[in-house]
Amino acid sequence: MYPDYRGVTIPCNIAPLNFYYTGGKAETTFSYGDYSFSLKGRDVVIPETKWKELLDKAKGDSIKISSSLMGEWSIFVSPDSIDQYLTYRLVEPAYEVANWVEIFERKISTFDERVLASYGNTNNACMNCHIHKGENTMFYLRGRRGGAVLSSKGTLRKMTLKNDSMFSGTVYGDLHPSGRWGVFSMNVVIPSFHTQSQKRLEVYDSKSDLCIVDFDNNKLLLPPSLTRTDVLETFPCFSADGSSVYYCAADTVALPRDVKKLHYSLYKFSFDAQTGEIGESSVVWDAMERGGSVCHPKASPDGRWLLYTVADYGTFPIWHRECDLEMMNLADGTIADMSAANSEWSDTYHSWSSNSRWFVFASKRDDGQYGKPFFCHVDEQGNVSKAFVLPQQNPHHYDRMLKSYNIPDLGKNPANFNEDEIGRLHRYTDAEKFE
C-alpha cells in the first residue's frame, strides 16, 4: 500500500488517510466499536463525513482496519490536535529548473489548498525562506522590486533588510513572539557540484554573520560578537519565550577544498526584548564532541524540546543522505530516540505545532529525490511516533507530483494575505529602508 499508514499515530483533526494498493484490489473495512464502513477497489478514498465521525468516536483510542489483501492493522487517534495550516514552497528538486516557484497553504483537516504567492503575479521572481509564526508571516521575494515581505499586526510590508555595513541582505531567520524583533543570518551562498556519482550538489556559505532586526523602528543591529570574520554563523531562532537565541556556528575553513571539515556547533545567547541587547554565547551542542554538524534548530513552543538536523558536515544537508533529525530535552540535555522519525534519506526542515505535540518535516525517504511533508507525534515523555506523510485527496498524488515540498511550516491561523495582494505589493510598493 502507498502511502503506508499502518501503525501510525494521527491527530484527531486530520483529513482522510487515502491510499492505494500496489498489488491489486481489496475490500477494506474501517471500524471502531460498533461503527464501521467498507470500501472496495484498489484506491481507498475515504468519504470525509465518515472519516470525521470515525475520528470523533475513536479519539484517544485505535481505529481498526481490515483488508482482504493485507490483513489487519490499527491507527491510533491522538486527542492532541495539530495546527490546521501548513505552508510550503513547491519547487523542482534540481538546480537546473528552479523556476515557476509558488508558496502554498494547505488546511490539514481538509484537502483545501490555496496559493499565497505565485510566480505569475511577481514576474517569475524567486520566493523562499518563509516563516509562519503565530500572527506573523514572512518570506522573501528576490530580484528586481523584491524584498522581505512581512505580514504582522494586520499590515503587509515589503522591506530591504540590508544596510551599507552588511555584505548581503538577510536570509535565514526567525520572528520574536512579540512581533517587534527578528533574528537573521546574512549569507553568501555558494553551490558546488560533486564529481562523485553518488553525490549531487553541495551548498556552503563563504561568508555568514547574524543580525538583529527591529521592525518597529526600521533598524538593523550588528553585534560584533556575531559578525566575526573567522566564524560562520547561521540559522538563528528564538527560544519559546523569546529570551534567548539559538544559532549554528563553525570556524572558517578553506572552501570548497575542506568542506568536509566544516562542522557547525549549536550555540545560545540571551536576548533582551526591551533593548535588543544580547548576552555572551555558550555551547549547547558541540560538533567536535558529537562528531557531526548541526543546522535548523527550532524550539518547541512549550520550551521543553529543541529539534534540529544533524549531518556529517556542512550546513545545507538537503542532499546529504545521512542527514537526520535530533531532539534535545532542554531541561537536562538528553537526546530523544528519533528512530521512528528518521529514514535512510535526508530528513530535515521541520516545524512545531503550537501545542508542542506534533512536528512536520521534509523527507526524501520515498525516492531519494522529492521532499514530502511527514508528521510525528511527541508525547509528554518525549516519545516520538512513526512518521506519516501528509494525506492527499488523490492517493496517487505523490506519484505524479514533480515538485518537492520545501520548508513545511505549521501555523495555528491562516496567513492573512493572498497571491493577488502579494502581486500588487511586488509591483506597486517600494521596499522600506532599514538603517
pLDDT in tens, 122-174: 988 888 888 888 789 999 999 899 999 999 988 999 999 999 999 999 999 99
Return the residue matching grid coordinates 515557476.
100
Q: pLDDT tens for residues 389-408?
A: 999 999 999 999 999 999 99
SS3 of 158, please? strand
Domain end position, chosen among 78, 103, 125: 78
184 plus 37 within the same structural domain:
no
In a domain, residue 434? The reply is no
In a domain, residue 39? The reply is yes
Domain end position, chosen among 37, 57, 78: 78
- Report which of 185, 200, 134, 191 is spatially closest to residue 295, judged by C-alpha positions: 185
Judged against a pLDDT cut of 50, whether residue 197 lies above it is answered with no
241 plus 324 within the same structural domain:
yes
In a domain, residue 62? The reply is yes
Cell numbers that stand for 268 in this block: 545560545
Give the pLDDT mean for 65-82: 98
200 plus 322 within the same structural domain:
yes
In a domain, residue 191? The reply is yes
Confidence of residue 97 (pLDDT cuts 50, 70, 90): low
Rounded to the nearest integer, the mean pLDDT of the chain is 93
Domain end position, chosen among 28, 43, 78: 78
Task: Kindly state the DSSP code that residue 234 receives in the 8-state scheme.
Answer: E
Quickly list DSSP for 141-182: E-STT-EEEEEETTEEEEEE---TT-SS-EEEEEE-TTSSEE
191 plus 240 within the same structural domain:
yes
Judged against a pLDDT cut of 60, whether residue 194 lies above it is answered with no
CB 52 within 8 A of CB 35: no
How many domains does the chain contain in total?
A: 2
In a domain, residue 433? The reply is no
316 plus 380 within the same structural domain:
yes
Q: pLDDT tens for residues 117-130?
A: 999 999 888 888 88
* Type and span of the H or E element at 426: helix 419-428
174 plus 261 within the same structural domain:
yes
63 plus 119 within the same structural domain:
no
**Which amino acid does the sequence have at 84?**
Q
Q: Tell which wins on pLDDT, 352 or 257.
A: 352
- CATH (domain of 93): 2.120.10.30
In a domain, residue 29? The reply is yes
In a domain, residue 4? The reply is no
How high is the pLDDT of residue 135? Answer: 84
Task: Describe the chain by its helix, strand, coil percentages, rounded to 5.
Answer: 10, 45, 45
129 plus 29 within the same structural domain:
no
**pTM value?**
0.95
Quickly list DSSP for 274-315: TT--B---EEEE-HHHHTSEEEEEEE-TTSSEEEEEEESSSS
**Which amino acid does the sequence have at 367?**
D
237 plus 385 within the same structural domain:
yes
186 plus 67 within the same structural domain:
no
Task: Kindly state the DSSP code that residue 387 receives in the 8-state scheme.
Answer: P
Percent with pLDDT over 90 in the chain: 84
111 plus 217 within the same structural domain:
yes
The domain of 69 spans: 9-78
388 plus 311 within the same structural domain:
yes
In a domain, residue 186? The reply is yes
